[in-house]
Amino acid sequence: EVQLVESGGGLVQPGGSLRLSCAASGFTFSDHYMEWVRQAPGKGLEWVGRTKNKANSYTTEYAASVKGRFTISRDDSKNSLYLHMNSLKTEDTAVYYCASHGGPAAAGKVFDYWGQGTLVTVSS
Amino acid sequence: EIVLTQSPGTLSLSPGERATLSCRASQSVSSSLVWYQQKPGQAPRVLIYGASNRATGIPDRFSGSGSGTDFTLTISRLEPEDFAVYYCQQHGSSVPLTFGGGTKVEIK
């Protein structure tokens, strides 16, 4: 069974930093692109960014709203994905999901697997 | 960035009725369009990919159509468990992937 479990959310002041983690199991993590998607309270979904797999040089890509402030990394030996968030703003308040694709043809395109999400609140 | 506009924002229907949800893209995404369902407190779930292909385990009352800029998700007969929020998502361009603003299907 595929499982994605996020952790690390919490309350942080504007300008602060936080690191989210996503522990994966039930699939070959190292083969997969891994994504972060967020959802502000009562709002829609927003793609945050991704890290591709080793075969694609672990290339990372980001939404314009977080580029330069957020960094995505992965540790294939630990089946783990990370989101390092710096210079946080109140508008970054959201539930953060890690997500991934099912079959290889869906890499970077369709999010078949989702975690339960972790809430990040940026407030003074 | 490709903008996806979903309409209507809210759809009020009764169980057994037909639901028609629209998603319009600001430029062509070919058939690179996905539909998700999200229930309160849950992560989204894939319903349709490639504009018209049902994901594994999705009932055949869900169908998708369209290509280019105009897409439709149809639920032929609403079941109680279908009342939820539906999002479209495109991957026609490289990045960023974008989502529509969502359509809430609520019980009338």
pLDDT tens, position by position, A57-111: 999 999 999 999 999 999 999 999 999 999 999 999 999 999 999 888 888 899 9
The minimal CB distance from B43 to the residues A46, A61, A117 is found for A117
A77 contact B CB<8A:
no
Which site among B52, B97, B98 would you substitute to test the A interface, given the most A Cβ atoms closer than 10 Å to its Cβ? Answer: B97
Q: What is the pLDDT of residue A95?
A: 98
d(CA B42, CA B88): 17
How crowded is the C-beta side of B100, counted as CA atoms within 13 Å?
A: 32
Distance between CA atoms of residues B78 and B62, nearest Å: 9
Nearest to B43 among A50, A109, A114 (CB): A114
Dihedral (Cα; B89, B94, B95, B100), 10-degree rounding: -20
B15 part of contact set with chain A, CB < 8 Å: no
Q: What is the pLDDT of residue A78?
A: 98
The CB-side HSE value for B91 (13 A sphere, CA atoms) comes to 15
State yes or no: pLDDT of B94 exceeds 80. no
Q: Does A63 touch chain B (CB under 8 A)?
A: yes
Are A47 and B99 within 8 A, CB to CB?
Answer: yes
Sign of torsion over alpha carbons B55, B59, B60, B61: negative
